[in-house]
Amino acid sequence: MSDPSQPAAPGSRRAAREAAARQAPDAGATAPTPSPQPEPAPSSGTLPGTSTPGPSAGRSIPSHPSSGSIPTAPRPATAPVESQAMPVLADSGPFPAQLSTGALPVFTPRTPAAAAPAQAAASVETPRPSASADPGPVDDEPWIFGAVEAAPAIPYARGSRPAAPTPAAPLPQAAPQPQPQPHEGAQQPQETHGRTALAERPTGITASTATLEDLFTGESSTDDLGDAPPRPNKRKRRIGGWIALGVVLAILGGIAAGGWYVWTTYEEQIRDVMGWAEPKDYEEGLANGETYITIAEGDTGSPISQSLFDAGVTKTDDAFYDYLIETAQNPPFVPGVFKLQKQMTSEAALAALLDPANKMENTAQLREGLTVEQSLPLLAEGTGIELADYETAVADPSQYGVEADTLEGWLFPATYSFEPGVTATQVIQTLVDRTVESLDAAEVPEAQRQEILTIASIIQREARYEEDMQKVSTVIQNRLKPDNQETFGLLQMDSTAQYGYGEMHDGTVSSSAEALADDNPWNTYVHAGLPVGPIANPGDVAIDAAMHPVDGDWLYFVTVNLDTGETIFTTNLADHNRAVAQWQTWCADNPDSGC
């Protein structure tokens, strides 16, 4: 450790190099050695060993100071000779032994900017040497800088006068060493108090195996441990997390979508295989309310099973029929109207149909979409009146206030009960009056009754559900528009062609080529506009749909699934043909479904 009483050495290697560069002599020149001069006495208020700030501050002390009291000498009036400030010795120990006892070049240490004021005041003032002074021996060798720490300044006494320094020959002056350029990523040297902190670290060094325990026990230092590992990139970690979450969600979404498709497509098969199939029949004890079904002459288990389902008696359309097959029963069904309850078991429904007490006397039930020809036998069976009497009663529509050639469309579908002794004419009048009531409820003007019944009868035969009935009404209105350049006013409804040709009762929905080409006034494939009259007896929903079509630009429709009644509506022929192909595929897969 340096003596605090001595002037501070240059604060860094850079400061030492700058001092050497400023004070180095030209090539071939020698530094003159000033002759001994007495040390000036300290002035009043100045500590021994210090100098008063002034023009001469920072000059060197004499090479050979004398002992004893030396008075202050005046400055010689000779040509000024610049004194050379010599660099600080590299070694902090005593001067080298090879220094001669001759004249010692003197220097003033350069004090760092951050040094204390006491160090700045440690410089001593030396008189200029005279022109006749013996230059003395000169050492041409450069000064040598070999260590980080600088050598202490020349000692001096703290008494009334400074102590004489140990005579020594000037050290050889070393040329400034080139500063190596730091490699990329290396730390720059940082200047500290009294020494330079070397932050450069050589590359290619293997990783240290030192641990924190070695650091605390003193076996290793922080240099051995190296720098702390960099912090993880939280932003990249978050991005990676979001990507992983998105992949997981995509996989789960695909599994869910695939499962939903499989379930909706093969629900029935899956339930059968897994034993999850829902029961086809209602449980016992759920029967409530009342409803009516009609059994026509010749009806068997299959059509009766469908009638029971339509009336809300059984849970599925084939529950009653399957029950008959499973129990191997073939009961003799009696035509007529029967009163049953809703949500009955198939067993209870069969018992009710076979019970004469449930057969309604003087009761007739007509369903939607029947023609006059189909309705009259049901009326005769329900009321006990001869069929011929009914055929005579419908011969003259005018007696019921109907201005048409027939009563087609005017025999409203419903369940009717009559008093004993009722006549056929009274029965027909009751049905016509019910039709007028429905027309008035739909706000149909009296002058448009026949037209609305005609449209409603087509709707009743072509659609099954209320929503589809409203769309069919829109298709009819769009085709009847004068600017229709797609079908040019042709409705092209198969129900009208079948009615005119007499194919409505053959058990199929398809029209034959003969029916489509037959020139009758009901064939809308041949004649533009509406047919000459209704083709069936419509119900309340169809009459309201005919009067109130929904908004849309559809021109075509086709029922692609006869079991579910699914119907596709389109606006152009190309899309319609694709829907027809879909229907044909369904018919090929279901040959016994009435295509």
| Residue 173 in tokens | 């002056």
Quote the CA–CA distance of 85 and 98 in Å, as a whole number.
21
Quote the CA–CA distance of 367 and 539 in Å, as a whole number.
8
| Confidence at 11, pLDDT banded by 50, 70, 90 | low
* Over residues 164-182, mean pLDDT: 50
Q: Is the pLDDT of residue 129 over 70?
A: no
pLDDT score at 396: 95
* Over residues 404-433, mean pLDDT: 94
| Confidence at 228, pLDDT banded by 50, 70, 90 | low
Report the chain's mean pLDDT, rounded to a whole number: 75
Lowest mean pLDDT among 35-39, 272-276, 422-426, 585-589: 35-39
Q: Which residues of 437-468 are buried (b: 16+ CB within 10 A; e: fewer)?
A: ebbeebebeeeebbebbbbbbbbbbbbeeeeb
Per CATH, the architecture of 288-360 is what?
2-Layer Sandwich (3.30)
pLDDT score at 424: 96
Residues 6+ apart with CB under 8 A from 344: 282, 286, 287, 313, 314, 352
Residues 6+ apart with CB under 8 A from 204: none
Q: Is the pLDDT of residue 276 over 80?
A: no
| Residue 129 in tokens | 């040497």
Strand partners, 309: none
Q: Tell me, what amino acid is at 134?
A: D
Q: Is the pLDDT of residue 269 over 70?
A: yes
pLDDT score at 261: 87
The DSSP result for 364-403, as a single string, is EE--TT--HHHHHHHHHHHH---HHHHHHHTS-GGGGT--
* Closest listed residue to residue 288, CA positions, set 341, 340, 338: 341
- Residue pLDDT, tens place only, 89-119: 444 444 444 443 444 444 444 444 444 444 4
Q: Is the pLDDT of residue 36 over 80?
A: no
SS3 label, residue 179: coil
Q: Is the pLDDT of residue 126 over 70?
A: no
pLDDT score at 179: 53
Q: Is the pLDDT of residue 416 over 50?
A: yes
| Confidence at 296, pLDDT banded by 50, 70, 90 | confident
| Confidence at 62, pLDDT banded by 50, 70, 90 | very low
pLDDT score at 173: 52
Q: Is the pLDDT of residue 192 over 60?
A: no
Q: Is the pLDDT of residue 553 over 90?
A: yes
Helix locations, 41-154, DSSP H: 117-120
Q: If residue 560 lies in a helix (H) or strand (E), which one and from where to where?
A: strand 556-561
| Confidence at 51, pLDDT banded by 50, 70, 90 | very low
pLDDT score at 267: 79
The DSSP result for 127-140, as a single string, is PPPPTT--------
* Over residues 475-487, mean pLDDT: 94
Say if residues 569 and 554 touch (Cβ distance below 8 Å). Answer: yes
Q: Is the pLDDT of residue 510 over 50?
A: yes
| Confidence at 435, pLDDT banded by 50, 70, 90 | very high
Provide the whole-model pTM. Answer: 0.53
Q: pLDDT higher for 575 or 51?
A: 575
Q: Is the pLDDT of residue 58 over 70?
A: no
Quote the CA–CA distance of 399 and 85 in Å, as a whole number.
146
- Where do the domains of the chain lie? 288-360, 374-554
- Residue pLDDT, tens place only, 301-338: 999 999 999 999 999 989 999 999 999 998 989 888 89
Say if residues 291 and 310 touch (Cβ distance below 8 Å). Answer: no
Q: 25-29, 34-38, 83-87, 361-365: which has the highest mean pLDDT?
A: 361-365
Q: Is 254 exposed, middle or buried (0-12, 13-18, 19+ CB in 10 A)?
A: exposed
Say if residues 442 and 473 touch (Cβ distance below 8 Å). Answer: no
pLDDT score at 217: 78
- Structure-derived torsion over alpha carbons of residues 153, 159, 164, 165, reported in degrees to the nearest 10: -20
Percentage of residues in the chain having pLDDT higher than 70: 63
| Residue 209 in tokens | 């195996």
Quote the CA–CA distance of 262 and 97 in Å, as a whole number.
102
